[in-house]
Structure 1
Amino acid sequence: MPRTFFALVALACLIPLSTFAASAKPNVLFIMADDYRPELASYGSSAITPNLNRLAARSLQFDRAYCQQAVCNPSRSSMLTGLRPDTLGLWNNGTHFRELKPDVMTLPLWFKQHGYETRCSGKIFHNWHTKEKGDARSWSAPEFLFYANHGDDKPQVKGELPPDTAKAPKCECRDVPDDAYYDGRVAAEAIRVMSEVKDKPLFLAVGFWKPHAPFNAPKKYWDLYQRDKLPPLNAARPTGAPEIAFHDSREILGTGDKRVTLTPGDEAEMRHGYFANISYLDAQLGKVLDALDASGMGEKSIIVFAGDHGYHLGEHGLWAKTSNFEFDARVPLMISAPGMSSAGKKTESLTELVDLFPTLVELCGLPPVEGLEGTSLTPILKDPLAQLKAAAYTQHPRPAYYDREPEKRPKAMGVSVRTPSVRYTEWRDWTTGRTIARELYDAVTDPNELTNAIDSPRLASEQVQAEAALRRQWRPKSSVDQ
């Protein structure tokens, strides 16, 4: 059946949304979090997130949303251009996407070219290592607190700095106000922009730096949790998993003579700090939502909340990201739009961050962008049971941070596909394209991926389907064709 038919059906299902977009362009509040585990963004989770909960009540929550690569620059570049990492040729943190594709279209730039005032407060594009800082051409005014190092997020206060009671690596616990750290100031700037822009539809991107390390939320957010009541850590590696699936957790543990060995107490405190960071982010989100609603724009605005990738907190023996495991590949995603009937519901439809560009373009009634590799999610906003994709795709190179290696290229690429029932991964030699290792995890009975069930007779049918889905995206030697 022609694709145009499905497009017409999708538009017909979203009459309230498309009618609104045609009569008056909705504002867009595009909110990003960094290193956010998706299960901790759900109502009823062990994280204390009252503001995410109220956003979820007006949104459709996508419980099977996936990034295209679990590290900052490739994920954000892919999402904001609507192109996959292989199309951009970008798999590291040190290369700006415009070095590779100088004239590529971005999500905010498309909105800017079609009558929107586009503003950026915080970390939206990649924030460090690159020659070009952010993407100035995408915005109607200079970006705010967009290009910095997470490690430089030191508390700024008037008077004497309160003592730090934390002891573990990457942790800091001081009794300081919210705006002592980046995210408090990001929220304040977002609120200022909302009060300033009156004569144009507004595309406001708010990029929170948390819950990314360091785990340094103000003390009141640490105090929300009892450390011994938090979910226990299961650090077991998946049985039968190949060594290449893992990494050295250097973002948290360091390298060489600066590498640290964590005690159980360190691990518990760091996990506590991650939860504190989440609640700190949530409080800043609440301030932004309050300002949106107080402005009278709340009912007329599209709101997106997304993470750039997931995160390990010691599971599988890993810290931070850069794997193809579910903990890293899955992301939080919520979308709220005027008139949609799915507010407050959840969907298990497979989705990808690359889908956000075409989705927002359609919701706002803008002309479509040629060449985008995602799929508009508008049919799912109407019917959360709708299925648009048979699979979602994530990849990651080895070494995990190859831009820091002398040869400036990876040695292998892990390509991974998530179907409704399994995750299947192939690790391929970068030079020859030869498959050197494989993984298969049962997403139904083994959601934490503790057993590599590759070639299991019980999962034979699911494996065949996953292999076919992977090959639709990656030919056996695709990674060496770049």
Structure 2
Amino acid sequence: MLRSGLVLTFALLLGLPVNAQAEDKHLNVLFIAVDDMNNDLGCYGNTQVHSPNIDRLAKEGTCFDRAYCQFPLCSPSRTSIMTGLRPDTTTVYDLRKHFRDVIPDVVTMPQAFEKQGYFTARVGKIYHYGNPGQIGTNGLDDDASWQTRINPSGRDKQEENLIINHTPKRGLGSSLSFLAAEGTDEEQTDGMVATEAIRLMEENKDKPFFIAAGFYRPHCPYVAPKKYFDMYPMKEVPLWENNFPEVKTAPDLAFASNKPWPWLGANPQQLQEAQQAYWATISFVDAQVGRLLDALDRLDLRDNTVVVFWSDHGYHFGDHGLVMKQSLFERSARVPFIVSAPGQKKKGVHSGRTVELVDVYPTLTQLCGVEAPAGLHGESLVPLLNNPDANWDKSAITQTIRSKKRMGYSLRNERYRLVTWGQGELQLYDYENDPEEKNNLANSPDHAELLEKLMAELKQRLK
């Protein structure tokens, strides 16, 4: 009864309508993670990519148009969202360090829910896994976060010898590689993730749950059943030209995530084939998200479940001569992020406010009446769920590291991005007039005052 009262009290304070079902039990959480997915989705305005199920979720909740990761690399980003702490606190900057080695007593997001009686489970990749190398293992998981952990391994893992790799000097986990696979969705690892997550929902539908479904795609190698490749005729896939004048005005470190540059040495035709495969895997994952949403409806859980959809970071595919992640440009730092919460005042809306993945932890605990630990670095997004245009004075900080411990920081507000690599190497972009980041304004006398202001804000935020 205490827990039910907390849900009712929070909902009333927030102005959220409360139905009878919500009064009787805690809200569940279905926590859907995807790996390396950028904003090439219908709900974000991409008219080529087929994503009907993710688009359906957006119509049932709030689609955040300016959501940013804390670090455009899997493990640092996932550590931040799950602990609610920024990378400079966790000091996880690579794919090897575990946050418990630095902050052993931190209470992770699922731990906070478990402390209040929730069943907590993970299927697939939530914390870092080497993908595809560690599929089927616990990877760099956190045992304390879950009561149940399931690690599927499907046909994609078994048939790695069939994969085409256009960057053969690179391992599959960092390559432009793909396979139009035989067989069914359910035989693929991500199909198994959906199947197992649905089973957990079925078995725990009468108790409060926090179930995390972590999909491995569209991370490379880009593997999906052939039918998804057929959605994207090659003649409709962009063919890039090696023409990037922005390299003349931005620091070399801005492009250093790709060696060799451009496109890790791939040619335009190879990049085009990989782009087709990447979009195919997005549509494949979208179909698995649809299975989860259908199961919620079938089990009569939709009115009592908060659904969160997020990617650990964005992904380049040709722009700036880049592919993949680890830059501080928009396509790398920006993520798809959707929240659908029972009782939120407005649904099917977009919020243009600047939000961060560290905001997820305080948002979910507030929505569900769960006590959050002190010291979280994010802010609850509940006000934006009720009013997507609510006053919101918050910028987003994304960082990445280069060799020799050279850290770059990005400060992004609703119009501008400042990037500093130290030693006077700066970038400044005005997205209202330059959405493709072609013109670095850092040395423009007309923008000197703005640059100084944004630098002061970043230094204050990093204290």
Q: TM-score, normalised by structure 2?
A: 0.88
Relative distance call for 1:426 and 1:131 in structure 2 (3 A) is farther
Q: 1:220 maps to what in 2?
A: 227
- In structure 1, the residue matched to 2:173 is none
Change (3 A) 1:415 1:466: same
Amino acid in the other structure paired with 2:106: V
Deviates more, 1:203-212 or 1:443-452: 443-452
Match among 446, 450, 470 for residue 434 of structure 2: 446
Q: What is the CA-CA distance between 1:240 and the residue it aligns to?
A: 0.3
3-state SS of the aligned residue for 1:306? strand
CA contact (8 A) 1:96 1:132 kept: no
Match of 1:79 in 2: 81
For residue 179 of structure 1, the aligned residue among 166, 186, 193 is 186
- 8 Å CA contact 1:187–1:285 kept in 2: the answer is yes
Are 1:374 and 2:368 counterparts?
no
Deviations 1:50-101 (A, max 9, x none): 1111111101000000000000000000010000000112211110111111
Letter in 2 for 1:243: D
Per-residue Cα deviation, 1:180-228 (whole angstroms, up to 9, x for no partner): 3211111111111111114420111011111111111110000011122
Taking the TM superposition and a 5 Å limit, the aligned residue runs for 1:135-284 are 135-145=142-152, 153-155=156-158, 169-233=176-240, 236=244, 238=246, 239-249=248-258, 261-284=265-288
- How high is the sequence identity, in percent, across the aligned residues? 40
In 2 relative to 1, CA 302–270 (structure 1 residues): closer, same or farther, beyond 3 Å? Answer: same
CA distance in 1, matches of 2:320, 2:288: 31
Alignment size in residue pairs: 438
Partner Cα separation in structure 2 for residue 17 and residue 74 of structure 1? 37
Q: Distance in 1 between matches of 2:374 and 2:23?
A: 21
| Cα distance, 1:41 vs structure 2 | 5.2
Deviations along 1:21-65, whole A, 9 cap, x unmatched?
A: 664201110101111112425254221011111111101000000
Structure 1 position 122, deviation (Å): 1.0
Deviation at 1:15, TM superposition (A): 3.0
Secondary structure in structure 2 of the residue aligned to 1:381: helix
The 8 Å contact of residues 414 and 427 in structure 1, kept in 2 or not, is answered as: yes
Residue in 2 that maps onto 1:3: none
Distance 1:437 1:267 in 2: 30
Cα gap change, 1:294 to 1:420, in 2 (>3 Å): same
Shift of 1:12: 3.3
SS in 1 for 2:144: helix
Q: Which residue of 1 aligns with 2:171?
A: none
Query: Mean Cα displacement is larger for which, 443-452 or 182-191?
Result: 443-452
* Structure 1 ranges of 4+ moved more than 6 A: 8-11, 129-132, 163-168
Q: 1:300 aligns with which of 299, 304, 309?
A: 304
CA distance in 1, matches of 2:233, 2:297: 33
Aligned to 1:284, the other structure's residue is in SS state: helix
Sort the Cα spacing of 1:106 and 1:234 in 2 relative to 1 into closer, same or farther, 3 A. farther
Q: What does residue range 393-412 of structure 1 map to in structure 2 within 5 Å? A: 393-399=397-403, 410-412=404-406
Match of 2:319 in 1: 315
Q: Does 1:470 align with 2:447?
A: no
SS at match of 2:179: coil
Change (3 A) 1:76 1:18: farther
TM-score (norm 1): 0.84
The equivalent of 1:328 in structure 2 is 332
Is the contact made by 1:153 and 1:181 (CA closer than 8 Å) also made in structure 2?
yes
Q: Cα 1:165–1:474, aligned 2, differ >3 Å: closer, same or farther?
A: closer
Cα gap change, 1:108 to 1:164, in 2 (>3 Å): closer
